[in-house]
C-alpha cells in the first residue's frame, strides 16, 4: 500500500476529504498541520510521497526527502512555483499537481473588480463607524469599463466568459491566443492592453520572466486611475512600484488576493505577530487597496478537487503509465 504524508493539513476541511480519498484509492495517510521545515521534514520518513500546499520545497528539502526514501512530490495546488522542479528532476522524483475547476477563482476575481470599482473598502469602513455619507464613495460601473485580461489560460478565459454578461469591453493578451474567445474579447498587444484598460487582471503563471511584470515601466504605460486585480501570484507585481503608483494616483485601486511576501503570513493567525512586512503594511493601510489572504481558491468544490487530485496524482505515479497530474 502506497504511503502518503501530508503537510499543512487543515483538519477542519481537508482531513475528511483525504480520509475519504485515501480509503477509496488504497493509500495510507500520515499528516501534520505543520508546514514542511527543516524540523518537520523527518516526519515524512518511511513514506512514499509527500503532499504540500503552497509550502516551499527547495533543493535542500527535496534532497533530504529523497534521502529519507520519499519518491514522489505532490502539491494540492494548480501552481507549482514553490517547488524546485530542477532539483526534483535531478533526483528522478516526479512532481504532481492538483487542478480544480477555474470558476471559483474566476468568480472571486470579478468580485475584487466590483469591490474596487465601487469603492467598497471605503463604504464598509465608514459604515462600521456609522458614517453613512456619500462624499468620496462614488464608484464607476463595470459595465462601462474596459477590462484587460492578461493571460487567457483556464482561469483568464473563464473570467472573460463570466465578464461577458456585464457588458464591459474586454481586451486580452496572451502569447497563445484562443479562437474560442474571439467573440467575447479582443486580443491586443501588451502595450495596447496597458494603454486602454480601466481594470487589469493578472492570470499568468509565476515564472522568472513574469516576475515583476507589473513594475514601474508597465505602470507608467497604464491609464490614470487604473484598477489592478491579482488573484494569480504575488510576485507578478513589484509591490514597491505599486505603492509609489498608488500614492501618485496613477493606480486608482487594487484588489490583491496574493502578495509577493505572503509566505509564512497568509493562512496563519499572526494577530500576535510576527509584524507585517513594510510593503504589506503600506498596501493594507491604503484606502483603495483591498487585500485578501489568498482565499480566491477556497470553495467546497475546489478543496474536494485539490485533495482528490493530489491523492490521484500520487497513485498514478506509483502505477506508472500515463499521468495527467504530472507537472511537465
Query: Where in the sequence numbering do the catalytic residues fall?
Result: 233, 262, 294
- Write the CB contacts of 87 (distance below 8 Å, at least 6 apart in sequence): 58, 59, 62, 63
Provide the minimum distance between the beta carbon of 98 and ligand COI in the complex, in angstroms, as a whole number. Answer: 7
Q: What does the DSSP assignment read for 159-204?
A: HHHHHGGGT-EEEEE-SS--GGGTTT-EE--HHHHHHH-SEEEE--
Longest distance between any two alpha carbons in the chain, whole Å: 65
In a 3-state reduction of DSSP, which class is residue 72? strand
Q: How many residues bind ligand COI (CB under 6 A)?
A: 7
Interface map 2-41 toward ligand COI (x if CB under 6 A): ----------------------------------------
- Measured from the CB atom, the residue of 84 and 198 that comes closer to ligand COI is 84
Provide the minimum distance between the beta carbon of 309 and ligand COI in the complex, in angstroms, as a whole number. Answer: 10
- Measured from the CB atom, the residue of 117 and 258 that comes closer to ligand COI is 258
- Measured from the CB atom, the residue of 121 and 305 that comes closer to ligand COI is 305
The reply to whether 215 sits near ligand COI by the rule CB under 6 A is no
The reply to whether 54 sits near ligand COI by the rule CB under 6 A is yes
- Measured from the CB atom, the residue of 95 and 219 that comes closer to ligand COI is 95
Provide the minimum distance between the beta carbon of 14 and ligand COI in the complex, in angstroms, as a whole number. Answer: 10
Angstrom distance (rounded) from CA 70 to CA 12: 27
- Write the CB contacts of 126 (distance below 8 Å, at least 6 apart in sequence): 132, 133, 137
- Measured from the CB atom, the residue of 264 and 287 that comes closer to ligand COI is 264
Which residues from 71-90 bind ligand COI, rule CB under 6 A? 77-79
Which residues from 269-308 bind ligand COI, rule CB under 6 A? 294, 297
Angstrom distance (rounded) from CA 43 to CA 47: 9
Whether the bond between 274 and the residue before it is cis, its omega within 30 degrees of 0, is yes
The reply to whether 53 sits near ligand COI by the rule CB under 6 A is yes
Contact 59, 72 (CB under 8 A): no
**One-letter-per-residue 3-state SS of 229-278:** EECCCHHHECHHHHHHHHHCCCEEEEEECCCCCCCCCCCCCCCCCCCCCH
The reply to whether 236 sits near ligand COI by the rule CB under 6 A is no
Provide the minimum distance between the beta carbon of 74 and ligand COI in the complex, in angstroms, as a whole number. Answer: 13
Q: Which residues contribute to the site for ligand COI (CB under 6 A)? A: 53-54, 77-79, 294, 297
Amino acid at each position: 500500500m502506497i504511503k502518503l504524508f501530508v503537510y499543512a493539513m487543515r483538519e477542519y476541511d481537508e482531513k475528511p476529504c483525504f480520509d475519504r480519498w485515501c480509503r477509496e484509492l488504497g493509500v495510507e495517510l500520515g499528516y501534520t498541520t505543520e508546514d514542511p521545515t527543516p524540523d518537520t521534514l523527518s516526519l515524512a520518513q518511511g513514506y512514499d510521497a509527500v503532499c504540500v500546499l503552497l509550502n516551499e520545497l527547495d533543493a535542500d528539502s527535496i534532497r533530504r526527502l529523497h534521502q529519507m526514501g520519499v519518491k514522489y512530490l505532490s502539491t494540492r495546488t494548480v501552481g507549482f512555483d514553490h517547488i524546485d522542479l530542477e532539483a526534483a528532476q535531478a533526483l528522478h522524483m516526479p512532481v504532481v499537481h492538483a487542478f480544480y475547476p477555474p470558476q471559483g477563482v474566476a468568480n472571486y476575481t470579478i468580485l475584487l473588480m466590483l469591490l474596487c470599482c465601487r469603492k467598497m473598502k471605503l463604504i464598509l469602513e465608514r459604515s462600521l463607524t456609522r458614517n453613512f455619507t456619500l462624499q468620496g464613495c462614488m464608484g464607476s460601473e463595470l459595465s462601462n469599463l474596459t477590462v484587460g485580461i492578461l493571460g487567457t489560460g483556464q482561469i483568464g478565459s473563464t473570467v472573460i466568459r463570466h465578464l461577458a454578461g456585464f457588458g464591459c469591453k474586454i481586451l486580452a493578451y496572451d502569447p497563445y491566443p484562443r479562437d474560442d474567445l474571439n467573440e467575447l474579447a479582443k486580443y491586443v498587444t501588451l502595450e495596447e492592453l496597458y494603454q486602454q484598460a480601466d481594470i487589469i487582471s493578472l492570470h499568468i503563471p509565476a515564472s522568472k520572466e513574469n516576475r515583476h511584470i507589473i513594475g514601474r515601466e508597465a505602470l507608467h504605460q497604464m491609464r490614470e486611475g487604473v484598477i489592478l486585480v491579482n488573484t494569480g501570484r504575488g510576485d507578478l507585481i513589484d509591490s514597491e512600484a505599486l505603492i509609489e503608483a498608488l500614492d501618485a494616483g496613477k493606480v486608482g485601486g487594487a484588489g490583491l488576493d496574493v502578495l509577493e511576501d505572503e509566505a509564512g503570513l497568509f493562512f496563519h493567525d499572526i494577530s500576535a505577530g510576527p509584524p507585517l512586512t513594510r510593503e504589506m503594511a503600506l498596501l493594507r493601510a491604503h484606502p483603495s487597496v483591498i487585500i485578501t489572504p489568498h482565499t480566491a481558491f477556497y470553495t467546497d468544490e475546489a478543496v474536494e478537487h485539490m485533495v482528490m487530485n493530489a491523492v490521484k496524482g500520487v497513485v498514478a505515479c506509483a502505477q506508472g503509465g500515463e499521468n495527467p497530474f504530472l507537472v511537465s
